[in-house]
Structure 1
Amino acid sequence: MTFTTRGRLLACAASALVATGASAETITIATVNNGDMIRMQGLASAFTDAHPDIELEWVTLEENVLRQRVTQDVATKGGQFDVMTIGTYEVPIWSAQDWLVPLDGMPEGYDADDILPAISAGLTTDGTLYAAPFYGESSMVMYRKDLIEAAGLEMPDAPTWDQIREAAAAMTDKDAGVFGICLRGKAGWGENMAFLSAMANSYGARWFDMDWNAQFDTPEWKATLTDYLDLMTNYGPPGSSSNGFNENLALFQQGKCGMWIDATVAASFVTNPTDSTVADQVGFALAPDKGLGKRGNWLWAWNLAIPAGSEKVDAAKAFVAWATSQDYTALVAENEGWANVPPGTRSSLYENQDYLDAAPFAQMTLESINAADPQNPTVDPVPYVGVQFVAIPEFQGIGTAVGQQFAAALAGQISADEALANAQALTTREMKRSGYQD
């Protein structure tokens, strides 16, 4: 039976139930205003047709506003929302505070075991899933095949940082306005520090040791920052300390970047001929490593979770199960095409030949996600969970402050040694103030 046929039958059943006078329960869903979530709202009639006893009320917000609103509500158990869109960063913190409803006892057929292990690990506390992933991502190398070939080089599927530097040098032609590499430079825990934290993991660096001592005074962090600044200063575009995801995306689409190491979800943007002047010349590789067993890639997912303050848990759980199910993926494919289905969450998607044919970057995306381990993100042991972030409440402030120091070093305002010393001091101060150390 096709999804469309099933939907018609469910709609008929819904009409029959409504005719008997059954009352509907309204659940309020807080979500982010990105394209995938807007698409979900547009397709939500398939859910309400199948669940005539549930009505949906949407609160759609810009990302920063969403974070503020849902954090306030979940912390106070205010009950304003029944379903929240939250990131991988929040899940381990909030579940430890008993702010989220465990997602056990999901409806029959949900198949939680189909969720990619790397994604589910970041959403699981003590063996229990606390959020269901809507879409997931890692990071990888996107590169110009034509420039690599012209330079007489080959990009391996699993490059080292030394190979990345060699390729960046060979592809740079500043007179032609082509820069060998584009990386995030804009300050922020989710901007330059997302990239640099992942890169640092591959260099053997950590944010903290097992006693929560800051580690920016170590040789591993000095090597990380020194090599990053060397790459960007010699082979990156001017003004790179102001460049984040969107700015680098535009540069790559305009043919100005030989390589870009960033989110796997960008692959569909750089290979879309409507937007990208180099769409037919893009290759993909895993994020680089230093031979220490960790790659410089991150892990992220946008997820649906139920706050502990909700009084409509069963209805909320039914919606979460629908929106993150295999059937929802099929619904998007039927209406929007396979290239537009939410990526990076389920193993079955990467076994679907229709999707693999529509998304030439699918296999590298999967390998990148699988290379990240939020439970063991670094070479040496750490007391925290998270790959490109540290899953403690204080990290947003600390991460952004450290990012400002590293952006200043990239802009030439301070040296690498000064940036690292400042990062060490401010992180140590905040961790003591927050009670992690005496």
Structure 2
Amino acid sequence: MNYRAWLCGAVSACALGFAAHAETITIATVNNGDMIRMQKLTDDFTKDHPDIQLEWVTLEENVLRQRVTTDIATKGGQYDVMTIGNYEVPIWGKQGWLMALDDLPAGYDRADLLPAIAGGLSVEGKLYAVPFYGESAMLMYRTDLAEKAGIKMSDQPTWTDIKAAAKAMTDKDNEVYGICLRGKAGWGENMAFLTAMSNSYGARWFDMDWKPQFDSPEWKATLTDYLDMMKTYGPPGASSNGFNENLALFQQGKCGMWIDATVAASFVTNAKDSTVADSVGFAQFPNKDGVDNHGNWLWSWNLAIPASTKKADAAKAFVAWATSRHYTELVAASEGWAASPPGTRTSLYENPEYQKAAPFAKMTLDAINSVDTKKPSVQEVPYTGGQFVSIPEFQGIGTAVGQLFSAALAGNMSADQALQAAQALTSREMTKAGYIK
């Protein structure tokens, strides 16, 4: 198939005229494995688009969020394509900051996108970003260590099961830690995990009057158990560990369990990078005994185009290529089907080759489909979102609270002190923003 001819169908790439002078588009992206891989495969794009050059700005997650938020809010025009999450897309789409992407070519097959993922990227039926990969969260654990400890892990474990397994798997003399969890401060780092964990404990961020709930017994139980597990069975320096740091620890065989994004599954089972690739099991995100909620988590990293760009056609050509079925097949040919970007397209999960290569495929799809972002807590809430709260103020508040909880993990304050400070800080900011009357 001639991809250039396919793309010319509807994305207006042909209108570029394939000019003699190359046009450079600047792409801001996150420094995780899937995005690094995409950069290595872009010869496939540029050979069909000699008139488009790609300039990459690759940043750590917290830094990326800060930079792209500042750039788009001030209409700085620094980037033509941004890698953003499903937290930002609907908020920025409503603000008119993003270009609608309803005119991608017919061959793009928008209907193939998983409904849960596409729904989070749409405003009033218009698509404002396209997903590079989607994820929920789950437990990844060492089957060899579980067997050695005499543990049979349930497909739907409770936090009581997790605590017992963490204790049994810990062997600090050999630098094996029973559990690795995010500790690095950030609304999308430790607070993504802790918000999901709090949901599984029956907690909520706000009551129906937008009053913070950090003084609730559910939040106290969440943070207390998290700190106890991490300080007793976790690795040293955990307050500095985010997704990438924990991924490296797990791949090096230093974690008995890791609860994080489902996208990590292909990296921990890849024998080229992971020393424990043949000894990884999967289970759903844990829940608290008596709470019927496995911790809502729904995230996607997406490619979006700022409304202010002057290179819209070139940017659309790129995002269509990078999130297409063609790209999925390109990754499969280069790295194997298990490495294909997960969580975005129905066709991938119907593909027998992917099912055979990816033992985590069904668990991932089940986790994504089980998320109800309209009801993240078993209690009534005035907001939507899984591991975040879908309001503009959450980015600042979530990061500030994350800094308090990271400080508690580092031993600089107690759980009670961190929760009290979080309650006061969040109450102040929500009052200032007009939510609390």
Aligned to 1:151: 149
Aligned to 1:341: 340
Aligned to 2:382: 383
Q: Distance in 2 between the 1:180 and 1:44 partners?
A: 39
Q: Distance in 1 between the 2:109 and 2:378 partners?
A: 32
Aligned to 2:369: 370
Deviation at 1:232, TM superposition (A): 2.1
Aligned to 1:55: 52
Query: Partner amino acid for 2:115?
Result: P
SS of the residue 1:181 aligns to: strand
Q: Distance in 2 between the 1:402 and 1:68 partners?
A: 16
User: Structure 1's 9 and 413: CA in aligned 2 closer, same or farther, altered over 3 A?
Assistant: closer
Deviation at 1:171, TM superposition (A): 2.3
- What do residues 281-307 of structure 1 show as CA deviations (whole Å, max 9, x unaligned)? 111111112343321252222111122
Higher mean C-alpha displacement, 219-228 vs 81-90? 81-90
- What do residues 49-88 of structure 1 show as CA deviations (whole Å, max 9, x unaligned)? 5567x62442423245543443334224455544322122
- What do residues 87-120 of structure 1 show as CA deviations (whole Å, max 9, x unaligned)? 2221122112121122223321322222122222
Equivalent pair of 1:121/1:374 in contact (CA under 8 Å): no
Query: Partner amino acid for 1:241?
Result: S
Deviation at 1:422, TM superposition (A): 0.9
Q: Distance in 1 between the 2:301 and 2:242 partners?
A: 19
Aligned to 1:232: 230
Aligned to 2:221: 223
Q: Distance in 2 between the 1:150 and 1:300 partners?
A: 34
Aligned to 1:414: 413
Aligned to 2:181: 183
Aligned to 1:30: 27
- After TM superposition, the structure 1 = structure 2 runs for residues 201-280 of structure 1, keeping only pairs within 5 Å, are 201-280=199-278
User: Structure 1's 350 and 437: CA in aligned 2 closer, same or farther, altered over 3 A?
Assistant: same
User: Structure 1's 248 and 40: CA in aligned 2 closer, same or farther, altered over 3 A?
Assistant: closer
User: Structure 1's 102 and 282: CA in aligned 2 closer, same or farther, altered over 3 A?
Assistant: same
Q: Distance in 2 between the 1:182 and 1:22 partners?
A: 51
Aligned to 1:427: 426
SS of the residue 1:28 aligns to: strand
- What do residues 350-372 of structure 1 show as CA deviations (whole Å, max 9, x unaligned)? 11122222222222222222233
Query: Partner amino acid for 2:392?
Result: P
Q: Distance in 2 between the 1:41 and 1:185 partners?
A: 28
Deviation at 1:176, TM superposition (A): 4.4
Equivalent pair of 2:136/2:297 in contact (CA under 8 Å): yes
Query: Partner amino acid for 1:72?
Result: T
SS of the residue 2:178 aligns to: coil
User: Structure 1's 176 and 311: CA in aligned 2 closer, same or farther, altered over 3 A?
Assistant: closer
Q: Distance in 1 between the 2:274 and 2:65 partners?
A: 31
Equivalent pair of 1:28/1:57 in contact (CA under 8 Å): yes
> What runs of 5+ residues in structure 2 fail to find an aligned partner?
none
Query: Partner amino acid for 2:218?
Result: E
Equivalent pair of 2:99/2:307 in contact (CA under 8 Å): yes
Does residue 99 of structure 2 align to residue 101 of structure 1? Answer: yes
TM-score by length of 2: 0.87
> What runs of 5+ residues in structure 1 fail to find an aligned partner?
none
Deviation at 1:194, TM superposition (A): 1.4
Q: Distance in 2 between the 1:55 and 1:7 partners?
A: 15
SS of the residue 2:255 aligns to: coil
Q: Distance in 2 between the 1:242 and 1:21 partners?
A: 47
Q: Distance in 1 between the 2:172 and 2:81 partners?
A: 49
User: Structure 1's 90 and 73: CA in aligned 2 closer, same or farther, altered over 3 A?
Assistant: same
Aligned to 1:168: 166
Q: Distance in 1 between the 2:365 and 2:345 partners?
A: 10
SS of the residue 1:206 aligns to: coil
- After TM superposition, the structure 1 = structure 2 runs for residues 73-92 of structure 1, keeping only pairs within 5 Å, are 73-92=71-90
How many residue pairs match? The answer is 428
User: Structure 1's 275 and 335: CA in aligned 2 closer, same or farther, altered over 3 A?
Assistant: closer
Q: Distance in 2 between the 1:51 and 1:26 partners?
A: 10
Equivalent pair of 1:195/1:262 in contact (CA under 8 Å): yes
SS of the residue 1:397 aligns to: helix
SS of the residue 1:106 aligns to: coil
User: Structure 1's 232 and 98: CA in aligned 2 closer, same or farther, altered over 3 A?
Assistant: same
TM-score by length of 1: 0.87
Q: Distance in 2 between the 1:109 and 1:334 partners?
A: 20
User: Structure 1's 375 and 47: CA in aligned 2 closer, same or farther, altered over 3 A?
Assistant: farther
SS of the residue 1:30 aligns to: strand
User: Structure 1's 258 and 337: CA in aligned 2 closer, same or farther, altered over 3 A?
Assistant: closer
SS of the residue 2:141 aligns to: strand
User: Structure 1's 62 and 240: CA in aligned 2 closer, same or farther, altered over 3 A?
Assistant: closer
Aligned to 2:118: 120
Query: Partner amino acid for 2:28?
Result: T
Q: Distance in 2 between the 1:412 and 1:8 partners?
A: 56
Query: Partner amino acid for 1:88?
Result: N
Query: Partner amino acid for 1:62?
Result: L
User: Structure 1's 281 and 308: CA in aligned 2 closer, same or farther, altered over 3 A?
Assistant: same
Deviation at 1:420, TM superposition (A): 0.9
RMSD: 2.9
Q: Identity over the aligned pairs, expressed in percent? A: 68
Q: Distance in 1 between the 2:118 and 2:212 partners?
A: 28
Equivalent pair of 2:4/2:49 in contact (CA under 8 Å): no
Q: Distance in 2 between the 1:275 and 1:226 partners?
A: 34
